[in-house]
Amino acid sequence: MRLPVLQNGRCDCSPPPAPPASPAPPVPARRGMTRRGFLRQGAAAVGGAAAVGAALSPLGKLAGMDHDVFANYFQKHYKEMTHEEMEQALERIRRDVERRFDVPATVRDIKPMDGVEFVYALNLSRCNGNRRCVHACVKENNQSRSPEMQYIRVLEMPMGTLDLEQGDHYYDRETVPDDQHFYLPVQCHQCANPPCVKVCPVEATWKEPDGIVVIDYDWCIGCRYCEAACPYWARRFNFAEPQIPAEELNASDMGYLSNRPRSRGVMEKCTFCLHRTRQGKLPACLEACPTGARKFGNVLDPDSEVSQILKTKRVFVLKEEAGTLPRFFYYFDERYPRQLEVPTPGPTADSTGRTGGGA
């Protein structure tokens, strides 16, 4: 097949391909090996072998480290593991924690509960931006301290808007709340229609029956598609080996799908503390919240706190138009807290002021 256009294009930028200018010397007909040929091929072979050996030498380090490394390579996908294989995987994780942190660990694979779907609700009238949740989460979920990782972002939002672009999560005040702002914590919304799950090329992340979107850290290839797909900036990537002081490690309660230590090159995110919540406990961020802004529970139970909130409060989700169906709801009380009360704009108040937007 001839492609004249391409051919022309090529002719424009370079001289027409000359007949090969004999890149290799004429090789004598096959009649035994010449001395020169022998030396050349022999040298190439020796050099090549040495290079292969040198190139593969990092594998030697791997092998010397632990035979668990190889077992991990051949570990199956979470959903395909039998009970025994999962037990072996958990045992490997225990050994890994022991080796990395020199701490004995309790690692479990906790399954979802029947008849439970988790929902989170957050009262924006109460949240005062103190970031206790952020750091309780870091401690509970063994997030890397250096480089630093935090699942929860508390956005400081100007009054009168829900435009996330105007939020600032680097706010650095002496005291909070600031009376010109409200505070909007954002973490994984555990969407019922999660875009992050759809884009994963290896199915390393999926939605569990209780609504929690989880990641198999051993299956993740670190492509970060999910991070790009998430409209809430909820996923975090381990660019470097996570570093956690051993004495701060939460080794007493580790879940395979949640807070076991991760390694470099995998994604992680909030899992609603599934190792806690699937045993009836409350998420760490909720327990640490001194204002009671956070509410968590089973939405299938009509009497649960979150059901009451969904029924009686005017809840909303972030970026509803994205169609992600989050399980994380926000609401305001009927009344602003006293310090956030915005005066009703009088007839003389200018219409462009923030007062008008916030009232």
Burial of 138: CB neighbours in 10 Å, binned 0-12, 13-18, 19+: buried
Cβ nearer to another protein, comparing 104 with 290: 290
Q: In the set 60, 104, 115, 147, which binds another protein (CB under 8 A)? A: 147
By the rule CB under 8 A, 312 interacts with another protein: yes
Q: How far is the CB of 137 from another protein (least distance, A)?
A: 9
Report which of 282, 135, 272 is spatially closest to residue 190, judged by C-alpha positions: 272
Cβ nearer to another protein, comparing 113 with 199: 113
By the rule CB under 8 A, 23 interacts with another protein: yes
By the rule CB under 8 A, 135 interacts with another protein: yes
By the rule CB under 8 A, 350 interacts with another protein: no
Please identify which residue in the block is written with the tokens 């009686």.
312
Q: List residues bridging with 123 in a β-sheet.
A: 331
Q: Give CA–CA dist 189/155, Å, rounded.
A: 15
Q: In the set 298, 326, 328, 330, which binds another protein (CB under 8 A)? A: 298
Buried b (16+ CB within 10 A) or exposed e, 244-260: beeeebbbebbbbbbbb
Q: In the set 76, 94, 108, 145, which binds another protein (CB under 8 A)? A: 145
Q: How far is the CB of 7 from another protein (least distance, A)?
A: 5
Q: Return the CA Rg of the chain.
A: 29
49-108 positions binding another protein, by CB under 8 A: 51-52, 54-55, 57-58
Going from the C-alpha of 269 to that of each of 73, 157, 224, 355, the distances in angstroms are 23, 23, 12, 37
By the rule CB under 8 A, 315 interacts with another protein: no
Residues near 223 by beta carbon (within 8 Å), at least 6 away in sequence: 201
Q: List residues bridging with 268 in a β-sheet.
A: 236
By the rule CB under 8 A, 146 interacts with another protein: yes
Q: Could you tell me if 257 and 78 are in contact, meaning their C-beta atoms sit under 8 angstroms apart?
A: yes
By the rule CB under 8 A, 30 interacts with another protein: yes
Q: In the set 36, 40, 67, 319, which binds another protein (CB under 8 A)? A: 40
Q: Phi and psi dihedrals of 6, rounded to 5?
A: -60, -40
Only one of the segments 76-84, 96-104, 127-135, 253-261 lies at the binding site for another protein (rule: CB under 8 A); that segment is 127-135
Q: How far is the CB of 76 from another protein (least distance, A)?
A: 28
Query: DSSP 3-state assignment of 286?
Result: helix
By the rule CB under 8 A, 18 interacts with another protein: no
Q: In the set 12, 114, 174, 350, which binds another protein (CB under 8 A)? A: 174
Q: How far is the CB of 323 from another protein (least distance, A)?
A: 27
Q: In the set 84, 114, 334, 350, which binds another protein (CB under 8 A)? A: 334
188-247 positions binding another protein, by CB under 8 A: 239-241, 243, 245
Query: DSSP 3-state assignment of 332?
Result: coil
Q: List residues bridging with 174 in a β-sheet.
A: none
Q: How far is the CB of 88 from another protein (least distance, A)?
A: 28
According to the 3-state scheme, what is the secondary structure of 22-77?
CCCCCCCCCCCCCHHHHHHHHHHHHHHHHHHHHHHHHHHHHHHHCCHHHHHHCCCC
Only one of the segments 87-95, 100-108, 207-215, 327-335 lies at the binding site for another protein (rule: CB under 8 A); that segment is 327-335
Cβ nearer to another protein, comparing 55 with 346: 55
By the rule CB under 8 A, 351 interacts with another protein: no
